Chain A
């Protein structure tokens, strides 16, 4: 029987083949959801999906695109912002 703390449905179950020939179950955490735009809610591109302990180790370029409002707004919303600024 599995340990009671591993019965949570937020863990995923993986079948592993041991050198002795038996298959056992290992428990792993799943990845978080992808980042969303602050205005329209669309999925943002150029950002990896990892748990916090990995996001801290990874470099800056993998967490946002090198662009103004990168990682915050999608490309449509940034373009709309700059066009408004130019037409004033």
Chain B
């Protein structure tokens, strides 16, 4: 029968075939369970009652159930505490590529050898001449119009 303190066998689920105790009646169909089973609500159709019984108050805690079960020499199920792991932050693909490029350019700058002063002066002259030629080309069409 379904009453507080009755020992039952669970038929379905991961906890199938293990013994449990009814701790509280919630509804026409649902019941609170504890014992050699995870502490949660269960459907009455998934339980099979046995002729054994225990002295328990309504809404008893997990430790009270432990004491009573140790007298009958039945094990009690203990849930492991969850370890909090830090989730790794997701980096978008673009950022990863940019970071890689920055690293490459820094490496290149460090690896660059110092240039001769003569070479630098010659290259500067060439660049200035190119800029002057460009400016002239831009001015001419404006004058014609």
Question: In the complex, which of the residues A67, A68, A75, A85 contacts B9, with contact meaning CB atoms closer than 8 Å?
Answer: A85
Establish whether residues A67 and B13, one from each chain, have CB atoms under 8 Å apart when the complex forms.
Answer: yes
- Which B residues touch A23, using CB under 8 A? none
The complex places the Cα of A86 from the Cα of B52 at a distance, in Å, of: 11
Minimum C-beta distance from B22 to chain A (A): 14
Question: In the complex, which of the residues B12, B14, B50 contacts A86, with contact meaning CB atoms closer than 8 Å?
Answer: B50
**Does B3 reach chain A (CB closer than 8 Å)?**
no
Which of chain B's residues has its CB closest to A83's CB? Answer: B48
Question: In the complex, which of the residues B8, B16, B50 contacts A67, with contact meaning CB atoms closer than 8 Å?
Answer: B16
- Which B residues touch A67, using CB under 8 A? 13-14, 16
Interface set, chain A 69-88, CB cutoff 8 A to B: 75, 78-79, 82-83, 85-87
**Does A66 reach chain B (CB closer than 8 Å)?**
yes
- Which B residues touch A78, using CB under 8 A? 11, 16
* Chain B proximity mask over A40-60: 1 for CB below 8 Å, otherwise 0: 000000000000000000000
- Which B residues touch A66, using CB under 8 A? 14
State which size class the interface on A falls in: 10 to 19
Establish whether residues B50 and A82, one from each chain, have CB atoms under 8 Å apart when the complex forms.
Answer: no
Minimum C-beta distance from B45 to chain A (A): 10
Minimum C-beta distance from B40 to chain A (A): 16
Interface set, chain B 1-40, CB cutoff 8 A to A: 8-14, 16-17
Minimum C-beta distance from A67 to chain B (A): 6
Give 8 nearest A-B pairs by CB, closest first: A86-B48, A86-B9, A82-B11, A68-B16, A79-B11, A68-B17, A82-B17, A83-B48
